[in-house]
Amino acid sequence: MYAMERQVSGLKRPSRRASKGLITVGVALVILLVASGLLAPSSLSQGAVLGMLPFASVLAVVGLGQMLVVQQGGIDLSVPGAVSLAIVIVSRIPNGDNALLVPAILLAFGFAAAAGLLNGFLVGRLGLNAIIATLGTNALLFAAVLGISGGSPTTTTRLLQSVAGGLSFGVPNSVFFAAAVAVVVILLVKKTVAGRRFEAIGANPVAARATGLRVRVHQMAAYVWGQMLYCIAGILLAGITAQPTAFQGNTYLIPAVAVVVLGGTSLLGGRGFPLATVVAAVFLSQLDQFNLAVGVPYAVRTLVQAAALAVGVALYTIDWSRVRARFGSSTRSTKPKPTPSPA
Amino acid sequence: MMIRKRILSLTVALGLSAVALSACSSGAPGADAPVPTGTVAGAPSWCGPKQITLGLLDGFGGNSWRLITTAAGADEVKKCPSVTKYEYADGQGDTQKSISDIQGMVAKGVNALVVFPDAGEAMLPALRSAYQAGVVTVPYRVNPGGKDGVDYDAWIGADFSQDGTNWANWIEKNLPDGGNILFMSGPKGNSQGEDEYNAMTGILDPAKYKFVGETPFEPTNWDPALSQQVLTAAIAKNPKIDVIVSDFGPSLLGALPEFQKSGRSIPALVTSDGNSLGCFYEQNKAANPDFKMMTVATGNDNVRLAVQYAVAKATGGQLPSTTKFEAPIFEDSVSSTPNPVECKSDLPGDIFLSAEMPAADQAALLKK
C-alpha cells in the first residue's frame, strides 16, 4: 500500500492558488448563505450567528486536530472521549473554584498528551490499525471520564464561562481561540521545516523513510497534536455550555471527520488543508442552523448532515474523469479497460 | 421544606389509618403465601412485621440525579427495621448486566426488588421471572411495559402528565392573555415529553396559546449543546417567545443567555428544578424583567414511593394509597408558593433542593 503514491505533487514552487477543497467548500458556504438569506433569513440574524459561531469554533478546532491525524493516513476515533475528558476535568476538578481552573486546564493537557502518546505508540510504533487502536483509547478515556466525574461534570466555573462563552468586540471569544489555533496550525505545517517534513511523510511514508526522515516520530506526533486540539475544543465547549454532560464529546465523532473530508484532505493522507477545514466547520454549523430555522423535522436534519458528508466524500474520492470517460466511452468503440481503484 | 412537612403529615395520617386497616391488607392474586400483617412500633405504616431482604437495582447509576436517588432509596429502606438486609446493584447502562443483576438477586434469595428499568421493555422478561419466583417486584419511573399483578407487583411510574398540568395551570394564571410557548424535551418521540404535551394542550386554549417550533416538542436529547442551538434558532425565528417549557431545566443554563445576546429579556420559564437553575435565576432576574420561573420537583423521591410499596408488600405493611408518583410544584418566583426560587450558592450546582434528602447530605454524596 505504501508503494502507491498518495498525492501527486510537482516539483514546482507551491502555487498561491486556493486549493480545490477551499474553493469547493467556500462556494458551498456562499451558496448556503445565499439560501439562508432567501429561505430562512432568521438564521442570519445577529443572534443566530452569534449562537452558531461558538459551536463552529469548537468544531473547527476538533476538525484541525483530526486533520493532522488524517494527514498521516490515520484516523482518530478517540475524539468523543478526548473532548468529554477535557470537559470533565476542567469542570469537576475546580468544582466552581476559579483558582483551581488553571491547574485543571494543565491537568487536562497532561491527560491529552498521555492519550496522544498512547494512540501514537499503538499506531505508529506497534503498527496497529488506527480505527481499532483509537477506539480502544476512546474507551479508556471514557473510563477516566466516569472515574473522575461519576457521570456528571457539574457546572463550569464562572471564569471559564466568561472566557470561553463571552464576547469581545461583539464577537464570541471562542472565535478568537479557534482563529489562533488555525493560524498556529497553518504556520507550523506550512511554514516550518518540521511541518513540511510532516506533510511529506503523510504523502509518501516510504519515500520519506528512504530520504532519512523519522516517519514513526511524525506519525506519533500527529496523534499527540490531535489530542491537544481536542483538549482545547473540550475546554471551550465546557465554557460555552455552562453545565455540560459527561458525554458531550459524543456528537463530534462524525462531524470531526466530515469537516476534514469536506475541506479536501484525503483520507489516504498527504497534504492538509487547514483553512478549508475551518470553512467546512462554519459550513456544517450554519447548515445545522439553517435546518433549524427552516423548521425541518429532526429526522430530516440528521439526514441532511449525513448527505453533506456523503457528498463531500464523493466529491474528492470518486475519480470523476473516469466516470466521465466511462459514460462517454459507451459511444466509442475502444472501451478503456477498468483498473482497480485504490479507493 | 413544605414537601417534607407534607410527606410527614401524610405518613402520620397513614399510620393512624393503618391501625384500623391492618387486618385487611390487600394482597394481589399471584403473590406467594400470605404474609403476617401489622405494623412495627416506631416505624412507618408501610413497614410490616415480616423480616425481609431488599434489593435496589439501578439500570444506570452514573450521574448526580441517580446518586441522590439511590441514596434516597437506601434512606427510605432504613426507616423500616424489618428490612434486615439491603443490597444495591448498578447495571452501568448495560442491559445484559441489569438483567443478570436481577437474576443474581433472585438466586440469592431476596424477598423484594425495586428496579429502575432503564432499558424499558427489554427488562420485562427478567422482571416477570423474578415475580413468578415469588419475589415482590416493583419497577419504578421508566415504564417496562407489562401489567401490574401479571408481570410484576406494581409499576410505580412518574405521572408526567401531572407536570404538564402544573405547567399549563401556571401559564394560564400568569399569562392570561395568551402567548407563544416553546416546549423543549429530550430525544424525539420520548413518552415523557409526549405525555406532558398532551396534558398541556388539554388545558391551554389553542386560540390564545400557540406552540412555536416542532410539536409535540423540540427534540434536544436533554443535551445542553443541542438545547443551545435549538434555542438560538428559535429566538432568531420567533420575535416573540413568552414562555419556555422544558422538562429538564438545568440543561438550559448555557442556552438562556442567548436571549440577552439578541437584546431580549429571558422570558418566563416553567421547568423542573435544580440548584444551578435556582442560582441562575437569582443572578439574572434583575437584568431580565420578563424572567419568571416555576419549577416542579425533579422526582428523586419517586424511589421512596417504590420502596414503600415493595416493603409494604413483602413485610405485610400498609400499601401506599397510590402507585403514581406525582411530582409536586416546587418553586414559583411569582407567588412564592409553595417556595420562592431557592439557590444554595455554596453547594454544588447539580443537587436538587426539591428532594427530601437535605441539601448538605446531597452535596456530601457528590463530593465522594
Pull the grid cell for residue A317: 474520492
User: Can you tell me which residue has the cell 475519480?
Assistant: A319
Instruction: Check CB contact under 8 Å for A288 and B229.
Output: yes
Say which range, B114-118, B126-130, B186-190, has the weakest mean pLDDT. B186-190
Contacts of B230 in chain A (CB under 8 A): 292
Of A243, A293, A295, the CB nearest to B276: A243
A296 near B CB under 8 A: no
Of B67, B229, B262, the CB nearest to A292: B229
Contacts of A288 in chain B (CB under 8 A): 229
Residue A223's nearest CA partner among A69, A59, A108, A62 is: A69
In a domain, A201, yes or no: yes
Quick check: helix, strand or coil at residue A186?
helix
B28 near A CB under 8 A: no
Question: Residue B249 above 80 pLDDT?
Answer: yes
Of B213, B225, B229, the CB nearest to A237: B225
| A·B CB contacts under 8 A | 125
Residue B315's nearest CA partner among B31, B47, B23, B43 is: B47
Task: Show which of residues 147-186 on chain B sit within 8 Å of chain A, judged by CB atoms.
Answer: none
Residue B140's nearest CA partner among B299, B327, B302, B272 is: B302
pLDDT along chain A (343 residues), means of 10: 46 62 88 89 84 93 95 91 93 83 94 94 89 93 85 76 86 94 94 90 87 87 94 94 84 89 86 92 91 82 81 78 76 47 45
Residue-wise pLDDT for B51-77, tens only, equals 999 999 988 776 678 888 999 999 999
Half-sphere exposure of A134 (CA within 13 A, CB side): 26
Selecting from 3.40.50.2300, 3.90.1150.10, 3.10.20.600, 3.30.70.20, what CATH number does the domain B160-296 have? 3.40.50.2300
Instruction: Check CB contact under 8 Å for A150 and B261.
Output: no
Instruction: Check CB contact under 8 Å for B276 and A237.
Output: no
CA distance A190 to A182: 12
Q: What is the pLDDT of residue A251?
A: 86
Contacts of A45 in chain B (CB under 8 A): 236, 262
- How far from the centroid of its chain's Cα atoms is residue A222's Cα? 13
Q: What ipTM was assigned to the predicted interfaces of this complex? A: 0.74
Residue B306's nearest CA partner among B154, B187, B176 is: B154
Instruction: Check CB contact under 8 Å for B214 and A45.
Output: no
Name which of A43, A142, A152, A160 to mutate to probe chain B: the one with the most chain B Cβ atoms within 10 A of its Cβ: A152
Of B64, B214, B254, the CB nearest to A241: B254
Domain boundaries, chain B: 160-296
Q: What is the pLDDT of residue B244?
A: 96
Instruction: Check CB contact under 8 Å for A248 and B225.
Output: yes
Q: Are the C-beta atoms of residues B63 and A151 closer than 8 Å to each other?
A: yes
DSSP state letters, B9-53 = HHHHHHHHHHHHHGGG--PPTT-SSPPP----TTS-TT--SS-EE
Instruction: Check CB contact under 8 Å for A289 and B233.
Output: yes
Instruction: Check CB contact under 8 Å for B229 and A289.
Output: yes
Q: What is the pLDDT of residue A320?
A: 77
Inter-helix orientation angle A253-262/A298-317, to 10°: 40
Q: What is the pLDDT of residue B28?
A: 40
pLDDT band of residue B25 (cuts 50, 70, 90) is very low
CB atoms within 10 A of CB B84: 11
CA distance A155 to A158: 9
Q: What is the pLDDT of residue A340?
A: 47
The residues pairing with B52 across neighbouring beta strands, listed in sequence order, are B83
pLDDT band of residue B186 (cuts 50, 70, 90) is confident
In a domain, A153, yes or no: yes
Q: What is the pLDDT of residue A295?
A: 80
CA distance B102 to B115: 8
Residue-wise pLDDT for B293-351, tens only, equals 999 998 889 999 999 999 999 999 999 999 999 889 999 999 998 999 999 988 888 88
Task: Show which of residues 41-60 on chain A sit within 8 Å of chain B, judged by CB atoms.
Answer: 42-43, 45-48, 50-52, 55
Residue of A nearest to B249 (CA): A243
A276 Cβ contact list (under 8 Å, min separation 6): A19, A21, A22, A24, A25, A26, A262, A263, A264, A265
Q: What is the pLDDT of residue A313?
A: 77
Instruction: Check CB contact under 8 Å for B232 and A288.
Output: no
Average pLDDT over residues B217-242: 88
CA distance B138 to B153: 6
Residue-wise pLDDT for B254-286, tens only, equals 889 888 888 899 999 999 999 989 999 999 999
In a domain, A337, yes or no: no
Quick check: helix, strand or coil at residue B185?
strand
In a domain, A311, yes or no: no
Instruction: Check CB contact under 8 Å for B236 and A298.
Output: no
Q: What is the pLDDT of residue A161?
A: 86
More confident residue, B224 or B207: B207
The range of the structural domain enclosing residue A109 comes to 60-272
**pTM confidence score:** 0.76
B91 near A CB under 8 A: no
Alpha-carbon gap: A154 to the closest alpha carbon of chain B (Å): 6
Q: What is the pLDDT of residue B35?
A: 61
